[in-house]
Chain A
C-alpha cells in the first residue's frame, strides 16, 4: 500500500498541491481523476520520486520513500509517462530489455531474457519484437513502453495518462492489460486517467482531485455518482447502469 501524507507543493507562487492525504490500496487498480490542473500528475510524479514534495511525505508499506536508494526503488515502483520526445532508435525488444536494468546493470542474464519474453508475450507484441519504435503507431508504441515497465517486475506500477492519443481499441487493450496485471499477478496499479468511463469500468478504487486537494476517494460506487462527478467537473452527468457496467453521459449538458 502506498500512502501520501499532507503533501504540499508549489511552483513559484502557485500552489499545486495543498495538503493531500490519500491511500492507494495494494493489489488493486486505482484511478486518479479530476479536471486539468488538479495536481493529479504532480502527485503521481511525487510517488514516482521524480518530483520532490515541498512538505509532507510519501510512504510505501509504511516506510518513507525519501530514504530508499534510487536503485532499490526502481525494483519496487515502475513509472510510465508520456514520452513524445523519446527519439532513440531502439527495437521493441531492446526497449523492453531496459526494463531489466534495475536488476542486472550489465549484461542480461537468462532470467532477464525469460522475463523480457514474458512481458512481450503478455501484451502480444511478438510480431513487433524486432521493429524499431519510430516505425510503430502510437498505440503500439505505448504497448512497447508498457511492456518495459512490466519487465521491471515491480509491485507498483504508476502510469500518467496512458490512454492519451490512443484509439479506442488500443485504449481498451491497455486497460485490460492493466486489469490483468492486477488480477493475475497481484500488482498495484495507479494511473492518471481523463476518460471517466474507463475509470468507472476498470478501477477498484478512485481518488478524485480538485484544485490541489482530494475531493473524494473511495470505491467506484462511492465516487461515480451524478452528484459527485457533477460537482467535480462542473458538468451535468447522467449515469446509467447497463449490462456492461456504468456509463457516464456528460456529452450534452
Chain B
C-alpha cells in the first residue's frame, strides 16, 4: 500500500518541477549550466524540498497532537501552536531586530512549546471531553494568542510584516532562504523511531502508565517535536491550515491508528496534498500564483467538511 503512495508522490514531484513561470529549456539542463539549470537548482528544487518537508511535517505534527490530546479534530492550527509561533517571531523582531533566522526560530519554538504545554494542561483539567469541545477550546485559545500577537504588532508598528505569515506562500522559497525547514527531517525520523510510544499516548494516561510508559515525559517530548516543526514551517513558508487535520483522519479511516504502520502513509499523504495544492495554485492564474495558504485552505476545508459529515451521519 505504501508503494502505491510512493508512485503518486513521485509523479507529483515531477509535475511540481515542471510547472513554473519560467519555461525550462531541456537542452540547457543536460549541460548542467545556464539559465535553466539555475532555475532548477536555485528555485524549483528548493521549492520542491520545502513543499515535501512542510507537508510531511504538518501531517506528522497533526497525528502526534491528535494522539496526545486524544481527539481527532486537533492540529497545530486548532491548538494555538501556530499563533504562538507567530507571536514568537514578532517578539524576536522587536527584541532582537538584528538577529537572523536561527534566533527567530528559537523564539517561535519556545513560545509554541509553552503554548502546547498550557493547552494540554487546560484539556487535562476538563472533565467532559466531547470530541467537538476540545478543538473549540483550542480555537478560542488560539484566538486569544493571535489577538495578543496582533496587539503586540500594532504597538510596535510591525503589522505589515505579520501579514506575511498569515498565509502560507512558497514563492519566497529560494536557495539560501529555506534551509531551516530541513529540521523537519530528524523530527520525522524520531517520531517514526518512537511510533509505538506515541500510539500508547493515544490510549490515555492510565493505560500508557500501566504498560510502563513515562506518560508526562513523552507528552512533553511530543509537544517539543510539534513545536520545532511548526516554528520551522511558519518561519520558512507561513501558516498552512488543514493538512495536519485532514491527512491523519483520512489515513486512520483506511489504515487505522497504529503509528508504526501508518506513519509513512501519513507523511507521504501530507506531502502529496501539499504538492497538489501547490501545483493548483501555480496553474490557476498562470503565470501568477495563488498563495498555497489559500488553495490548501479550500481543498483541505472541503475534505474536512466531508469527513465531519461522514462521521456524524
* Nearest B residue (CB) for A88: B257
Residue A161 at the B interface, CB < 8 A? no
B window 124-179: CB within 8 A of A? 129
Q: Is A86 located at the chain interface by the 8 A CB criterion?
A: yes
Q: How far is the CB of A248 from chain B (nearest CB, A)?
A: 32
State whether B209 touches A70 (Cβ < 8 A). Answer: yes
Contact B211 A83 (CB under 8 A): no
Contact (Cβ within 8 A) B256 A89: yes
In the bound complex, do residue A90 and residue B257 qualify as a contact, i.e. CB atoms below 8 Å apart?
yes
Residues of B within 8 A of A88 (CB): 199, 202-203, 256-258
Q: Does B27 sit at the interface, judged by CB under 8 A? A: no
Contacts of A94 in B (CB 8 A): 256, 258, 261
Are B196 and A105 within 8 A (Cβ)?
Answer: yes
Chain B residues lying within 8 Å of A121, measured Cβ to Cβ, are: none
Residue A32, interface by CB 8 Å: no
Give the nearest-CB partner of B210 in chain A.
A79
A199–B261 Cα gap in the complex (Å)? Answer: 41
**Cβ-defined contact, A101 with B258, below 8 A:** no
Select which of A85, A91, A101 is within 8 A of B211 by beta carbon.
Answer: A101
Q: Is A98 an interface residue (CB 8 A)?
A: yes
Q: How far is the CA of A239 from the CA of B202 in the complex (A)?
A: 45
Does more than half of chain B's interface fall in helix, strand or loop, or is it mixed?
Answer: loop
Q: A98-B199, A102-B211 are in contact. Are A85 and B204 (CB under 8 A)?
A: yes
Shortest Cβ gap from B135 to chain A (Å): 14
**How many angstroms between the C-alpha atoms of A49 and B205 in the bound complex?**
12
- Beta-carbon contacts of A128-143 to B below 8 Å, as 1s and 0s? 0000100000000000
Asked if A101 and B256 sit within 8 Å, CB to CB, the answer is: no
A202 contacts the other chain (CB 8 A): no
What's the Cα separation between A83 and B202 when bound, in Å?
A: 12
A84 to B253, CA, bound (A): 19
Of chain A, the residue at the smallest CB distance from B212 is A74
* Size class of the A contact interface (CB-based, 8 Å): 20 to 34
Of A72, A79, A89, A102, which contacts B257 at CB under 8 A?
Answer: A89
User: Across the two chains, which residue of chain A brings its CB closest to B197?
Assistant: A105
* A149 to B, closest residue via Cβ: B210
Write out the residue numbers on chain A whose beta carbons fall within 8 Å of the beta carbon of B72: 87
| Distance, CA A156 to CA B197, complexed state (A) | 23
The answer to whether A101 and B252 touch across the interface, beta carbons within 8 angstroms, is no
B203 A152 Cβ-Cβ under 8 A: no
A71 beta carbon closer than 8 Å to chain B:
yes
Q: List 25 A-B contacts (CB under 8 A).
A: A49-B209, A50-B206, A70-B213, A72-B212, A73-B212, A74-B210, A74-B212, A83-B207, A86-B204, A88-B199, A88-B203, A89-B252, A89-B253, A89-B256, A90-B256, A90-B257, A90-B258, A98-B196, A98-B200, A98-B211, A99-B211, A101-B211, A105-B196, A105-B197, A152-B211
Chain B interfacial positions (CB closer than 8 Å to A) = 70, 72, 129, 196-197, 199-200, 202-204, 206-207, 209-214, 252-253, 256-258, 261
Give 14 A-B pairs besides A79-B206, A98-B196, A101-B211 with Cβ atoms closer than 8 angstroms: A50-B210, A74-B212, A81-B206, A83-B203, A88-B257, A88-B258, A89-B252, A90-B199, A90-B258, A94-B258, A94-B261, A98-B200, A101-B200, A101-B212
Q: Report which A residues bind B (CB closer than 8 A).
A: 48-50, 70-75, 77-79, 81, 83, 85-91, 94, 98-99, 101-102, 105-106, 132, 152
